[in-house]
Amino acid sequence: MKFINSIITAIIIVFSLTGMNAQNDTLKTQSIDEIIIKATKINLSEHQSPISASVLNKNTMETMRINSIEELNARIPNLFIPEHGSRLTSPIYIRGIGSRINSQSVGLYVDNIPYFELGSFNFELYDLSKAEVLRGPQGTLYGRNTMGGLISMYSSQPIDKQEFSLRADYGNYNRIKSVLHYNQPLSKKMILMIDGAYAHSEGFFTNTFLNNSADSYNTYSGRMKFQYAPTSQLKINVNVNYEKNLENGYPYAVYDTTNQTASDVNYNQLSTYHRELLSSGLNINYKTEKFELNSASSFQFLADTQRIDQDFTPKDLFFINQTRKHQTFVEELTVKSLKTSKINWIAGLFGFKQLKDKNVDVYYGEDAVTAYHLPGSMVKYKNYNQPTQGAAAYGQVSIPFYNFTLSGGIRADYEKDNLIYAYDRDLNDNLTNVQNADTFNTYFQILPKVTLSYKINDDINTYVSIAKGYKAGGFNSTFERDEDISFNPEYSYNYEFGVKSRFMNGKLITNADVFYIDWKDQQVYQPVPSGQGAMLKNAGHSISKGIEAEIKVLPGNHLQTWLNIGYNDVRYLDYVKDENTDYSGNNIPYIPQYTGNIGFSYQLPLSGTFLKSLMLTADYQYVGKFYWNDANTAYQSSYGLLNANISINTSKHIQFGVFGKNLSNTNYNSYYFEALGNSYVQLGNPLQLNAFLKIYF
């Protein structure tokens, strides 16, 4: 009921503004710009593409001040990304499908570079030109771990004129962000672009035991792009991104599930997360008179260190020191038809190699020795060497006939996953080997997709699709029994019907779809038997069904409004955890039943010689009630966040303004987990106020 009331109130406000704007004869109406979805790999427009997709352009992301992937949360229908203590992992859920540990279920690409690790997902966003969110399985074109969907982001590309800009933000909690952008043509055929950014925060939460910040950070970022176009047919792009992140992490507090209250963040050991992330790509594009060839090569290097008080209490129980090094090599070759072709087609080859090495040291403190009746001090040393490689071949073709278009695609996906594991224990300075493993798993899957679209007229398109989703199995990072060392693949079939329409000469756009996902062998997050860590196990049978709708209205030349709504019912049909525990019929955790976003952007021309225009943007994010655990005993009530931005452009290449997030200072919990017999939460971020200044030439 709160959700409906909020939506009705927001609609009244938006259309009141619309009415006011319509009475002003000086405002000339125009159509909403056509949006091309690059992630389809055949560059269809949003209106023509038979897929559930949401697109945020550069202006939208700038006015909404989206600085991380987590801030896409709820702004896209049925997209949920909870804040998670540090940048070590960023679980993403689309239509209820996601993963908190191990490999992802939602794919992420940035400038055509695939991000395979959850530990690389949360990075500083700056100078982005577009973000695309594709809902539903994308396995035919993108492979095994895109069962929930795909997020594809694009930063600004080199252009053939000189550009320079400098931006600085400052906000409460001593939050600072500065971004430098420079674009320089070197010749008629070569362009160089350089970006740099620095971000700092003293954090929102204090560890009362240590009397220091539990979530402060410093982040240093840099990007270089080089474009070389020796002919009109050939274009070569080189892209190198680097980020160094230093943060105090894990503002977790003990949580009373009965009273739904959190205590202070209060634990005895400083916890940190440090990460270096290097992502580089080489893209070669060649166009002939009949087809287009593309080669995308990339390399990503991730090195991080996590130091964490595992019990999050004042007691000296457990402390973990984890270090990782990941190297990922990817090559993809595609050939596709030109835009002018009547029949659209694409074929490709894909291959990757990952080298993953991880060391986990678990230190048992004095209180753990007493509580667990240990004979003395103990340290566990675990090493995981996990090389993984895979290859795929795929193709897709779209054939029009009358007002119909039939599209069919198929992908053959192969993967080999190795694990070399060694576990040693130091007990009273006596080092002994406890367990070793040297094993591998192979996976092979055929991933089909069929879509039939029907063009009712130039303004209304409909489609129906069936797609298979697949996520490969793997090895658990934490396991205490031999049967828990690995988990099996999971599968889904996604059935979808959608309608896309444009009315009022392109001033009103509506996209809506309904979907049903039959989900088998789901990889479920569970604590290990001792409670000291988590692993994945396969559940029996689940479903996800729902509705998504997006409405964009441009009533005048200076006002744009939007409304996005998602409904998602996700539950276990058959999940018997053990002989005493049956979760069948329960809601799957971390999935809000409703998500919503409503807002407007209004640009007012100014007549002064110095001030050119004023832009006002506001949006309201809504997250419906959802459960935190499989038992459905802990939950988060529905909540909403109000955000706004006011910016002024001048005639002297200066932009300045203020923006705020969570302006109502809403209290909510952003993350929850259970361990060692306790429940823990991370509180959501409080009200944030910021001022900014941008100088550009």
DSSP codes, 55-80: EEEHHHHHHHT--SGGGGTTTSTTEE
Which residue did the predictor score with more confidence, 361 or 35? 361
Task: Kindly report the three-state secondary structure assignment for every residue of 442-458.
Answer: EEEEEEEEEEEEEEEEC
Give the pLDDT mean for 243-268: 92
For the chain, what is the largest distance between any 2 Cα atoms, rounded to a whole number of angstroms? Answer: 85
Answer whether 477's CB lies under 8 Å from 101's CB: yes
Provide the pLDDT for residue 24. 36
Cβ partners under 8 Å of residue 155, min gap 6? 110, 111, 127, 128, 129, 195, 223, 225
Place of tokens 């929850």: 672
Provide the pLDDT for residue 12. 37
Other beta carbons within 10 angstroms of residue 154's beta carbon come to: 17
Q: Residue 60 gets which letter from DSSP? A: H
Other beta carbons within 10 angstroms of residue 598's beta carbon come to: 23
Answer whether 198's CB lies under 8 Å from 221's CB: yes
Q: In angstroms, rounded to a whole number, what is the distance separating the alpha carbons of residues 55 and 125?
A: 16
Q: In angstroms, rounded to a whole number, what is the distance separating the alpha carbons of residues 616 and 14?
A: 13
> Could you tell me where the DSSP H helices lie in 74-147?
139-142
- Taking 90 as the threshold, does the pLDDT of residue 222 lie above it? yes
Q: Please state the φ and ψ torsions of residue 426, each to the nearest 5 degrees.
A: -105, 110
At 30, the pLDDT band (50, 70, 90 cuts) reads low
Q: Residue 541 gets which letter from DSSP? A: E
Q: pLDDT tens for residues 653-684?
A: 999 999 999 999 999 999 998 888 889 999 99
Cβ partners under 8 Å of residue 236, min gap 6? 227, 228, 229, 230, 282, 283, 284, 285
Three-class secondary structure of residue 345 per DSSP: strand
Provide the pLDDT for residue 34. 65
Q: Residue 521 gets which letter from DSSP? A: S
- Taking 70 as the threshold, does the pLDDT of residue 171 lie above it? yes
Q: Please state the φ and ψ torsions of residue 688, each to the nearest 5 degrees.
A: -130, 125
At 33, the pLDDT band (50, 70, 90 cuts) reads low
Pairing, β 106-110 against β 149-155: parallel
Three-class secondary structure of residue 269 per DSSP: coil
Answer whether 308's CB lies under 8 Å from 292's CB: no
Answer whether 365's CB lies under 8 Å from 317's CB: yes
Three-class secondary structure of residue 7 per DSSP: helix
Amino acid letter for position 99? S
Which residue did the predictor score with more confidence, 23 or 294? 294
Q: What angle do CA 544, 68, 102 make, to 5 degrees?
A: 50
Give the pLDDT mean for 508-534: 87
Q: In angstroms, rounded to a whole number, what is the distance separating the alpha carbons of residues 165 and 161?
A: 13
Q: In angstroms, rounded to a whole number, what is the distance separating the alpha carbons of residues 46 and 109?
A: 19
Q: pLDDT tens for residues 73-102?
A: 888 999 999 888 888 888 899 999 988 777
Distance, C-alpha 11 to centroid of its chain = 28
Answer whether 144's CB lies under 8 Å from 470's CB: yes
- Taking 80 as the threshold, does the pLDDT of residue 265 lie above it? yes
Answer whether 203's CB lies under 8 Å from 685's CB: no
Answer whether 136's CB lies under 8 Å from 544's CB: no
At 19, the pLDDT band (50, 70, 90 cuts) reads very low
Q: In angstroms, rounded to a whole number, what is the distance separating the alpha carbons of residues 366 and 331?
A: 50
Answer whether 524's CB lies under 8 Å from 97's CB: no
> What order do you get walking across the sheet with 106-110 strand by strand?
53-57, 128-135, 149-155, 106-110, 113-114
Answer whether 365's CB lies under 8 Å from 374's CB: no
- Please give the C-alpha separations between residue 530 and each of 199, 328, 349, 361, 374, in angstroms, as whole numbers: 39, 33, 44, 17, 15
Provide the pLDDT for residue 32. 60
At 26, the pLDDT band (50, 70, 90 cuts) reads very low
CATH number at 180 reads 2.40.170.20
Q: In angstroms, rounded to a whole number, what is the distance separating the alpha carbons of residues 297 and 291?
A: 20
Provide the pLDDT for residue 144. 80
Provide the pLDDT for residue 331. 97
Provide the pLDDT for residue 539. 80
Cβ neighbourhood burial of 339 (10 Å; 0-12, 13-18, 19+): exposed
Provide the pLDDT for residue 31. 58
User: Which domain does 66 fall in, by range?
Assistant: 2-696
Provide the pLDDT for residue 651. 83
Q: Please state the φ and ψ torsions of residue 15, each to the nearest 5 degrees.
A: -80, -20
Q: pLDDT tens for residues 347-370?
A: 999 999 999 999 999 999 999 999
- Taking 50 as the threshold, does the pLDDT of residue 8 lie above it? no
Provide the pLDDT for residue 13. 40
Q: What is the dihedral of CA 675, 676, 678, 682, to 10 degrees?
A: -40
Amino acid letter for position 672? Y
Report the percentage of the chain scoring pLDDT > 70: 95
Which range has the top average pLDDT, 30-34, 130-134, 524-528, 531-535?
A: 130-134
Cβ partners under 8 Å of residue 538, min gap 6? 487, 488, 490, 521, 522, 523, 524
Amino acid letter for position 409? G
Q: In angstroms, rounded to a whole number, what is the distance separating the alpha carbons of residues 58 and 79?
A: 20
Q: pLDDT tens for residues 605-654?
A: 988 778 899 999 999 999 999 999 999 999 999 999 999 999 999 988 99
Answer whether 197's CB lies under 8 Å from 124's CB: yes
**Tally of structural domains, the chain:** 1
Which residues, in sequence order, are bridge partners of residue 660? Answer: 644, 689
pTM for this predicted structure = 0.91
Report the percentage of the chain scoring pLDDT > 90: 70
Q: In angstroms, rounded to a whole number, what is the distance separating the alpha carbons of residues 616 and 206?
A: 34
- Please give the C-alpha separations between residue 404 and each of 46, 50, 401, 450, in angstroms, as whole numbers: 17, 11, 5, 13
**How many CA atoms within 13 Å lie on the side-chain side of 662?**
13
Q: Which residues of 381-399 are buried (b: 16+ CB within 10 A; e: fewer)?
A: bbebebbbebebebbbebe
Cβ neighbourhood burial of 79 (10 Å; 0-12, 13-18, 19+): buried
Which range has the top average pLDDT, 3-17, 19-33, 583-597?
A: 583-597
Cβ partners under 8 Å of residue 412, min gap 6? 392, 393, 394, 444, 445, 446, 447
Provide the pLDDT for residue 127. 85
Q: pLDDT tens for residues 562-577?
A: 999 999 999 999 998 8
Answer whether 215's CB lies under 8 Å from 205's CB: yes
Provide the pLDDT for residue 328. 96
Taking alpha carbons only, the member of 512, 601, 615 closest to residue 564 is: 512
Answer whether 551's CB lies under 8 Å from 7's CB: no
Three-class secondary structure of residue 399 per DSSP: strand
Lowest mean pLDDT among 89-103, 369-383, 428-442, 463-477: 89-103
At 70, the pLDDT band (50, 70, 90 cuts) reads confident
Other beta carbons within 10 angstroms of residue 213's beta carbon come to: 20
Q: What angle do CA 267, 269, 270 make, to 5 degrees?
A: 105
Provide the pLDDT for residue 668. 95
Place of tokens 């704007």: 21
Which residues, in sequence order, are bridge partners of residue 535? Answer: 526
- Taking 80 as the threshold, does the pLDDT of residue 131 lie above it? yes
Answer whether 331's CB lies under 8 Å from 339's CB: no
